[in-house]
Amino acid sequence: MPQIVCENASLGYDGKPIVTGLSFTVNAGDYLCIVGENGSGKSTLMKTILNLPPPLAGAIRMEGLKPTQIGYLPQQTQVQRDFPASVLEIVLSGFQGQRGWRPFYTKEEKVAAGANLKKLGLEGFQRRCYRELSGGQQQRVLLARALCATQKCLLLDEPISGLDPKAAAQMYEIIQQLHREGITIIMISHDVGVALADATHILHIGKHLFFGTKEGYLHSGIGRAFLSEEEHK
């Protein structure tokens, strides 16, 4: 069942396109990994899926999925890493899209926030200060926040950026487990090896476009050329 459909979209800012002629479909339960050269428009695509900004041309539409049912884990800035809030406050903020003008969080939301922290190995961290956590712990807190927004679809923009190899491996295993539980994953990654190991589909953005299964990507000219370039870096 389709959740996100992109049809001949052009993406960019201030009327200047970065990507043109982009088409793909994400079905419920897919694990889509977005790869490509730096500056090719991967993060722009993720923001455009959220309509921030809308596409310059073409369309990206959701089917059976509301914008409030998408959890988003963006790349962190240094200011965000130093944010002086408790872990629980950060995680609960994932409910804001569903809360409307209600000025407080319900008991059920607090229980769900605690359950998501436990799922990600952060039980007992609720009162800890976010900025005092390690990079890997911070990323898991943000993933717990994204899970408070949805149990349907996660958008992950370089979720292992800045993490050491052990923390990165733990994060990838958590993401794979969430996918096994039925959550649709859309992830930007520079780690092509992980993309080919875990993903069901690949979207390559750059001078050339590719969308299809990871097996199809491995046998495509675009995929072979990109993998060869990555091996020689």
Q: 232 and 161 in one domain?
A: yes
Q: What is the pLDDT of residue 103?
A: 76
Same domain, yes or no: 171 and 233? yes
pLDDT at residue 41 greater than cutoff 90: yes
- Do 225 and 159 have their domain in common? yes
Token duo for residue 125: 């961290």
pLDDT, greater one: 60 or 228: 60
- From CA 89, how far away is CA 51, in angstroms rounded? 26
How large a percentage of the chain has pLDDT more than 90? 68
The CATH number of whichever domain residue 205 belongs to comes to 3.40.50.300
Same domain, 190 and 117: no
Arithmetic mean of pLDDT, 205-213: 94
Distance CA 166, CA 233 (A): 22
Domain shared by 146 and 158, yes or no: no
Q: Is residue 135 part of a domain?
A: yes
pLDDT at 98: 73
pTM for the model stands at 0.91
Examine the domain organization and report whether 229 and 190 are in the same domain.
Answer: yes
pLDDT at 192: 83
Same domain? 145 vs 219: no
Query: Is residue 190 in a domain?
Result: yes
62, 71, 136, 174, 179 from 169: Cα distances, Å? 31, 21, 10, 9, 15
* Domains: count for the chain: 2
Res 125 pLDDT > 80 = yes
Task: Return the pLDDT at 224.
Answer: 92
Rg of the chain over all Cα atoms, to the nearest angstrom: 18
User: Considering the domain boundaries, does residue 162 fall inside one?
Assistant: yes
Confidence band, pLDDT 50/70/90 cuts, at residue 11: very high
- As a whole number, mean pLDDT of residues 8-14 equals 93
* Separation CA 200–CA 28 (nearest Å): 12
Whether pLDDT at 200 is above 90: yes
Strand residue runs (E) in 53-200:
57-62, 70-73, 153-157, 184-188
Mean of pLDDT values over 164-193? 92
Answer whether 11's CB lies under 8 Å from 18's CB. Answer: yes
Q: Name the domain boundary from 151, 178, 213.
A: 151
Where among 114, 130, 151 does a domain terminate? 151
| pLDDT for the residue 39 | 87
Q: How far is CA 181 from CA 29, 64, 129, 145, 174, in A?
A: 9, 19, 30, 17, 11
Residue 71, domain member (yes or no): no
Residue type, 194: V
Of 92, 127, 151, which residue constitutes the final position of a domain? 151
Tell whether 135 and 178 lie within a shared domain: no
Domain range spanning residue 41? 1-65+153-233
pLDDT in tens, 51-72: 989 999 999 999 988 878 899 9
Residue 228 and residue 160 share a domain? yes
Q: What pLDDT score does 79 carry?
A: 61
pLDDT band at 117 (very low <50, low <70, confident <90, very high): very high
Both 129 and 161 in one domain: the answer is: no
Q: For residue range 72-101, what is the model confidence (pLDDT) as tens digits?
A: 999 877 767 888 899 999 999 999 877 666
Task: Please check whether residues 114 and 159 belong to one and the same domain.
Answer: no
* Cβ-based burial of 42 (10 A; exposed 0-12, middle 13-18, buried ≥19): buried
For the chain, the average pLDDT equals 91
The verdict on 49 and 97 lying in the same domain is no
